[in-house]
Amino acid sequence: MTIQDYEINKDSKVFIIAELSANHNGNIETAIETIKAAKRAGANCIKLQTYTPDTMTINCDKKDFIIDGTIWEGRNLYNLYEEAYTPWEWHKKLFDVAKEEGLICFSSPFDKSAVDFLEELNTPAYKVASFEITDIPLIEYIASKGKPVIISTGIAEQEDIELALETCKNAGNENVAVLKCTSSYPAPINEANMIMVKDFTERFGVISGLSDHTLGNTVPVVATCFGAKIIEKHFILDKSIGGPDASFSLDENEFKEMVDAVRSAESAIGSVDYNLTEKQKKGKDFSRSLYVVKDIKKGEKLTSDNIRSIRPGFGLHPKYFESVLGKLAKTDLEKGTPLELSKLS
């Protein structure tokens, strides 16, 4: 998968997305400064959300439309999205700012009109939000554009993921990545279930990653160790500005700490290689080997009393211990002499 000029594969570095979401608080200057801060914090990408309250829901106060059991408890869906949405007239400017900063920029569309709008902006990719994974007509329309598609799975069962992937494939698009997500805000760390990142890759044959709503760095680091190649995290310029997503977003310093932790984890993972580095080879000096531990006269037998496996590692390999017992010394061997086969008969 290539998004703009960033190649994402099993050997690539993690593609780190800063999710702007509602963290502009209705101010385009805040949005612009957030993009610049995301660049400073080490993000590869800034992601927007493209919807209006009317493309998301209807303005209705019936019970079904009142949020229950989340940080937005008691709020009307329409009013929440009215506060949180990113005005469409901002998008071109935000795409341009991201380009100037050297960041990739794309968005999550929430209906077909948003897809059409993002096509006009030549978006390099699309993100399907967790709650839209069951909107098969939308996924089909997104996939038909031939751009890379990243799908979050916060409310998905296996059959939902399979159907979404099948829909993309049937639309002629297999350039798809799947992100493990826990749709709680913030998400409890004990529900992260990061082993699913590895399972997604193996089960579905896709690039896998993480859309994270937990606090801190632990889950992104664990995801990296399980093979995540995309990590998305909500990003905010300053938590003091508040807003619908502030409580589970990272500020610039926190995001940079996460990026650094992910990059360190990548470095620690390394590769399968049984060859030793020069430094590791030097460490063999401290391994055990066979040494003379009591003076041995010429013609005297080697016994477990006069030779032992000890540190350092300059003598004969310990695997020879049993086979050299009973052999005769060809010359006097002083205590502290590394054992050599050439000195035995």
Domain contains 5: no
The reply to whether 164 and 110 lie within a common domain is yes
Phi and psi, residue 82, nearest 5°: -65, -35
Q: Read off the pTM.
A: 0.88
The reply to whether 79 and 220 lie within a common domain is yes
Host domain of residue 334? 278-343
Between CA 234 and CA 184 the distance in angstroms is 13
Point out the domain boundary residue: 215, 243, 269: 269
The reply to whether 199 and 319 lie within a common domain is no
Domain contains 2: no
What percent of the chain is predicted at pLDDT more than 70? 100
What is the model's pLDDT at position 144?
98
- For 98-151, write each residue's pLDDT tens digit: 999 999 999 999 999 999 999 999 999 999 999 999 999 999 999 999 999 999
Q: Across residues 1-17, what is the average pLDDT? A: 96
Between CA 44 and CA 104 the distance in angstroms is 6
- For 286-336, write each residue's pLDDT tens digit: 999 999 999 999 999 999 999 999 999 999 999 999 999 999 999 999 999
- For 140-179, write each residue's pLDDT tens digit: 999 999 999 999 998 899 999 999 999 999 999 999 999 9
The reply to whether 330 and 199 lie within a common domain is no
Domain contains 316: yes
Would you state the structure tokens that stand for residue 181, as one six-digit string?
A: 């997500």
Domain count for the chain, please give it.
Answer: 2
The reply to whether 263 and 305 lie within a common domain is no
What is the model's pLDDT at position 66?
94
The reply to whether 164 and 93 lie within a common domain is yes
The reply to whether 339 and 191 lie within a common domain is no
Point out the domain boundary residue: 225, 248, 269: 269
What is the model's pLDDT at position 133?
96
The reply to whether 283 and 257 lie within a common domain is no
Question: What CATH number has the domain bearing residue 32?
Answer: 3.20.20.70
The reply to whether 289 and 222 lie within a common domain is no
Closest to 42 in 3D by CA, of 337, 217, 284, 257: 257
Question: Going by DSSP bridges, is the β-strand pair 2-3/230-234 parallel, antiparallel, or unpaired?
Answer: unpaired
The yes-or-no verdict on residue 248 having pLDDT over 80 is yes
Between CA 214 and CA 248 the distance in angstroms is 7
